Amino acid sequence: RHGAIRTFSGSSAKDPPTTFQRAIEDKARYVEWDEAGVFSPDMFAVKKMALFAMIHQAFPNKCDFDLPEFLDGAKHALELVLRTVYSPAFLEAAVDSTIENDEIRLLKDVMSPECLNMLKQGFKIHHDNGCTKFDLTQLDIRGCFLDNIKLADDNSSILLYVKFDTAEHVTVSGIKDGVAISESSVREADATWVFESPIPSTLRWTVVQM
């Protein structure tokens, strides 16, 4: 089987394996990942294989990256960010741009300035409309899947698109028509977050799109 692949690719036996060959030889790991449900549920098999090959292109040494482990980290990042932005300290900093507290410093460490500014602007609008407090009482992460991959032309960095299926149980307090109110709701969302890291150096993931 390997010989047929080499003939197709035009490589001789002494040439190093191509990205495609490495992906084929690592088929057992692909099957394991697929059975673990790491890819978006509606994704066709041909795209799954293409993304798997791109992972091999980005990480020739397969020990350097584990997709289930990455997605587990992505879920932790999602929870960290959401619990932070619903905190009183973040709302305070969103309203007053001169404030830089621990919550803002934490978010600066895990996401791009554009993402942080978008969140601050959104919460400031809520505050201007009378919201004074948010309480995230429960966060359900019902799904976390790899949806796409993009590599820099020079293979110096990678973008991983992660699709989340979540339910945020939030209690909002504020003033409406001069009356103090407190309303609880469940916000169900399908969102795609994009994580970027340089490669092949030590991975450091940053949220660059939400």
pLDDT tens for residues 143-183?
999 999 999 999 999 999 999 999 999 999 998 888 898 99
pLDDT at 1: 41
pLDDT of residue 13: 52
Q: Which of 81, 67, 72, 64 is nearest to 210 (CA)?
A: 81
Most confident of 54-63, 110-119, 201-210: 110-119
What are the pLDDT digits (tens) for 129-149? 999 999 999 999 999 999 999
Stronger pLDDT, 194 or 19, i.e. the higher one: 194
* Cα–chain center distance at 166: 13
SS3 annotation, the chain: CHHHHHHHHCCCCCCCCCHHHHHHHCHHHHHHHHHCCCECCCCCHHHHHHHHHHHHHHCCCHHHCCHHHHHHHHHHHHHHHHHHHCCHHHHHHHHCCCCCCHHHHHHHHHECHHHHHHHHHHHHHHHHCCEEEEEEEEEEEEEEEEEEEEECCCCCEEEEEEEEEEEEEEEEEEEECCEEEEEEEEEEEEEEEEEEEECCCCCCCEEEEC
Cα-based distances in Å from 3 to 13, 24, 25, 64, 131 = 8, 12, 12, 27, 66
Percent of the chain with pLDDT over 90: 80
The per-residue pLDDT for 176 is 84
* Residue 12 pLDDT level (bands cut at 50, 70, 90): very low
pLDDT band at 60 (very low <50, low <70, confident <90, very high): confident
CB neighbours of residue 167 within 10 Å: 13
Place of tokens 């169900």: 188
Q: The sheet that has 179-198: what strands, in order across it?
A: 131-151, 157-176, 179-198, 206-209
From residue 189, give the alpha-carbon distance in Å to each of 99, 114, 133, 155. 30, 21, 21, 32
Q: Among 165, 154, 164, 167, which residue's Cα sits nearest to residue 194?
A: 164
pLDDT tens-digit readout, 35-46: 999 999 999 999
pLDDT at 10 over 80: no
Give residue 14's pLDDT.
Answer: 62
pLDDT band at 9, cuts 50/70/90? Answer: very low
Domains of the chain: 1-63 (no CATH), 66-210 (3.10.450.240)
| Residue 8: band (very low, low, confident or very high) from pLDDT cuts 50, 70, 90 | very low
